[in-house]
């Protein structure tokens, strides 16, 4: 267990949670108005390469879905561990959000646009999508680890995906993680 020294990024945000070691750097990706698809779709993969020299820690996931028309598919946004990720759209490390724009780029790799992933274990969490007979919105689903976050040792990661869906479903996803 890491010490309880607060992390103090340059923007003034202070985490007094004991599971963020001093020097943890935080990063974030936000996807807005991303349409669902009928088949399975990997919206985001987050992978910590084998030789990264870092441990990554998911901090928070916020997901909201809304529909632009009739949706009867119940394909929840699911989070699950992965052992590999490739393809899709590689997001340039320098373009990711961070509390201090001058801090170093992350060493972990973010992919969007339905990357290919190798799922491991069982699903960790699921956030239900909106189902409606017309337009509709769900309230945002928040996942913040209550007793300390899961860690992503080198060679592991997470995927955020739907096993099925509808082109009428739209997704807003905000994902924050730390690296130390």
Residue ranges covered by each domain of the chain:
25-179
Q: CA 174, CA 30: separation in Å to the nearest integer?
A: 4
Pairing state of beta strands 136-137 and 56-67?
A: antiparallel
Burial class (CB in 10 A: 0-12, 13-18, 19+), 49: middle
- 130-178 pLDDT, tens digit each: 766 666 666 666 666 644 558 899 999 999 999 888 888 888 999 999 9
Q: CA 38, CA 110: separation in Å to the nearest integer?
A: 23
**For residues 93 and 106, is the Cβ–Cβ distance under 8 A?**
yes
What is the structure's pLDDT at 146? 46
| pTM beyond 0.85 | no
**Residue 82: strand pairing partners:** 119, 157
- Which 8-state DSSP code applies to residue 10? T
């Amino acid at each position: 267990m890491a010490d309880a020294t607060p992390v103090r990024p340059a923007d003034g945000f202070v985490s007094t949670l004991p599971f963020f070691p001093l020097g943890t750097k935080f990063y974030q990706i936000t996807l807005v108005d991303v349409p669902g698809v009928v088949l399975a779709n990997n919206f985001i993969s987050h992978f910590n390469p084998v030789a990264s020299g870092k441990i990554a820690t998911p901090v928070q996931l916020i997901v909201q879905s809304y529909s632009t028309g009739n949706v009867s598919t119940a394909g929840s946004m699911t989070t699950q561990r992965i052992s590999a990720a490739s393809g899709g759209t590689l997001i340039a490390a320098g373009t990711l959000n961070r509390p201090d724009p001058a801090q170093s780029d992350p060493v972990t790799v973010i992919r969007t646009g339905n990357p290919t992933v190798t799922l491991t274990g069982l699903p960790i969490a699921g956030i239900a999508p909106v189902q409606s007979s017309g337009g509709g919105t769900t309230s945002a689903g928040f996942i913040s680890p209550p007793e300390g976050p899961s860690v992503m040792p080198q060679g592991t990661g997470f995927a955020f995906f739907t096993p099925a869906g509808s082109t009428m479903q739209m997704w807003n996803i905000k994902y924050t993680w730390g690296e130390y």
